[in-house]
Amino acid sequence: MDLNTLEFTAVIALGSSLAGFLGSLTGLGGGIVIVPLLTLVFGVDIRYAIELLWFPSLRLRERRRLMSGKAIAI
């Protein structure tokens, strides 16, 4: 799928809004919508799509560990 920047942003915004709406209605995470959107619509490998969902959570956890002084700084 060949999209320009505006179309890409619109599709991502719509997909994210749909994921948030369905997540709030069902109690499921937004990944149930985002992963298929990335893989089926944008052709992203499923491993990368799943990794994109985990990355912010891992970064936040590491930041909290650093702030608490429990992480070892290299």
Tens digits of residue pLDDT in 1-22? 677 889 888 988 888 888 888 8
DSSP of 21-64, one letter per residue?
A: HHHHHHS--THHHHHHIIIIIS---HHHHHHHHHHHHHHHHHHH
Q: Which of 11, 52, 59, 14 is nearest to 35 (CA)?
A: 52
List Cβ neighbours of 71 (8 Å cut-off, separation of 6 or more). 62, 65
Q: What is the pTM of this model?
A: 0.58
pLDDT band at 71 (very low <50, low <70, confident <90, very high): low
